Amino acid sequence: MIKDLHQKLENKEISSEKLTGDFLDKIEKKDSQIKAYLEVFKEDALKQARKVDEKIAQGEKIGILEGIPCALKDNLCLQGKKVSAASKILENYVAPYDGTVIAKLKKAGAVFLGRTNMDEFAMGSSTENSAFGPTHNPFDLERVPGGSSGGSAASVAGDLAVWALGSDTGGSIRQPASFCGLVGLKPTYGRVSRHGLLAMASSYDQIGPLTKTVEDSAIILDAISGKDEKDNTVVDKKENFFQNLKPELKGKKIGVVKEFFGAGLEKSVQENLQKKLDWAQSQGAVLEEIELPYLKYSMAVYYLMITSEVSSNLARFDGVRYGFSESVLPDSISQNIEDGYFNSRGLGFGPEVQRRIILGTYCLSAGYYDAYYKKAQKIRQLIKRDFQKAFEKVDVIFSPTTPTTAFRLGEKSSDPLQMYLSDIYTVSANVAMIPAISLPCGWEKKEGRNLPVGMQLLGRWWGEQELLNIALALEDK
């Protein structure tokens, strides 16, 4: 899609201003129902588009992303624009600088349509935890788009943006991609800079694209990856993913974990996945059953570690330096400071954020750090070792992305454990820090609506090229 639009811009079949204007019109007409956007940058977007049109008019060559409209998750810093992480505590906070991925995209000439809704501080699997109300799934407005990058996914699925950026801490790109019939890519931890991403869990967070095609994901990954001196976890492994993109399936070994297809997986989802596996085998792929003995501990490790890191990262939001503040009149100065902290955090953070801060603070408290966080770190290493052994035998690992198709709004919001289980197939990639991609894999009919089914491929560390190539071969045409 991006490549086709780029060629049309170059050939002057369309203008970037017209393309951007068309998306802005769609947002105005449709987003009151979908609610993908928290803010639309109408004038800025049109101004960006006109600059691209001027370059084309002057005969200058444009980059592949130049003049192409996109959406940004509301936890990415764009200088001069609000960035709230969909939280009341940062409702009016304006980013003082560009995050690294934003700076790279500005250099590439991308047009930013606006910032999209999300679960507060990326904590959730449905985009119902936003302080500004839920986003709706474009395929069925009574259902969730997934989370936490639900606004970004809904903007692309609803034709309100060509592509969008999200962040993935435990499946927050891949799960909404599955629910919205998109391609969602989580790169290897350290492939893309996190500078300018409002942190949830620093050893898990990773920025990635939500697109309509595998090809588009390769184009975006090219633009946003690479070394960054502002993030010392980033490795300088710049590659040409789009240029080297080619379908690869024959002779490729696809690992299948038996436990992934057990209890809890919806029958229609399993049927669609099996059809895809059968087709892959007919095209020359080799299916191999593999074992990942420590995988069953992924969810426990994930929630122990991310809540601990959440507790640490969100300690800075105290209502003093920036963001929402709810102070009280003092009986004494010290009492006022303490009450100010409690009031600001109690009123500024939503229930899910508070729940995770409390859990994480407990895990890190004296006497419990060794029993919980430290032990979880050790099990994380064992899970990584499982994947290392698996990738000695296979090229990629195949799994469902989610156990079900998109569920109804409100269906799981009163049961946090059921909500957490929405990410049961995705968290292991973040625990092991490996790349993973979700792509469409058929449809399920529910209550008269066709809902997308997603499949997931897990790849070896820094193996995005092979992952994209196999995904391209498996992509629904």
DSSP string covering 405-453: SPPBTTSSTT-HHHHHGGGTTTHHHHHHT--EEEEEEEEEEETTEEEEE
Supply the pLDDT for residue 112. 98
DSSP string covering 69-122: EEEEETTB--TTSB--TT-GGGTT-B-SS--HHHHHHHHHT-EEEEEE--SGGG
Supply the pLDDT for residue 385. 98
* Euclidean distance between CA atoms 115 and 286, whole angstroms: 42
State what percent of residues in the chain have pLDDT above 70: 98
Whether the pLDDT of residue 272 is over 60: the answer is yes
Question: Residue 344 sits in which domain range?
Answer: 1-477
Region 251-264: what's the mean pLDDT? 92
Active-site choice (172, 178, 217, 308): 172
**Do 36 and 71 meet the contact criterion of CB atoms below 8 Å apart?**
yes
Active-site choice (15, 16, 35, 73): 73
Longest CA pairwise span in the chain (Å): 76
Region 28-56: what's the mean pLDDT? 98
Supply the pLDDT for residue 264. 87
**Do 40 and 27 meet the contact criterion of CB atoms below 8 Å apart?**
yes
Query: Lowest-pLDDT range, 134-148, 155-169, 260-274, 410-424?
Result: 410-424
148 is catalytic: yes
73 is catalytic: yes
Angle at 212 between CA 127 and CA 262, to 5 degrees: 65
Supply the pLDDT for residue 328. 47
Find, among 413, 416, 399, the residue nearest to 453 by Cα: 399
* Euclidean distance between CA atoms 12 and 213, whole angstroms: 24
The predicted-structure confidence for 312-361, as pLDDT tens digits, reads as follows 999 999 887 777 877 644 454 445 677 777 788 888 999 999 999 999 99
Active-site choice (15, 87, 126, 148): 148
> What tokens were used for 287?
């299916």
What is the total count of domains within the chain? 1
172 is catalytic: yes
Region 415-421: what's the mean pLDDT? 83
Q: What angle, 0 to 180 degrees and rounded to 10, lies between the N-to-C axes of helices 42-57 and 2-10? A: 50
* Euclidean distance between CA atoms 284 and 304, whole angstroms: 41
Supply the pLDDT for residue 199. 96
Domain of 330: which CATH number?
3.90.1300.10
Residue 267: exposed, middle, or buried by beta-carbon count in 10 A (0-12, 13-18, 19+)?
Answer: exposed
Supply the pLDDT for residue 416. 82
Supply the pLDDT for residue 418. 83
Q: Are β-strands 253-257 and 183-186 bridged in parallel, bridged antiparallel, or unpaired?
A: unpaired
The predicted-structure confidence for 376-411, as pLDDT tens digits, reads as follows 999 999 999 999 999 999 999 999 999 999 999 999
Whether the pLDDT of residue 181 is over 80: the answer is yes
Find, among 222, 225, 224, 226, the residue nearest to 244 by Cα: 222
Tokens 């400071």 locate to 337
Tokens 């290392």 locate to 388
> What tokens were used for 93?
């906070």
Supply the pLDDT for residue 337. 72
The predicted-structure confidence for 43-95, as pLDDT tens digits, reads as follows 999 999 999 999 999 999 999 999 999 999 999 999 999 999 999 999 999 99
Supply the pLDDT for residue 276. 97
Supply the pLDDT for residue 329. 45
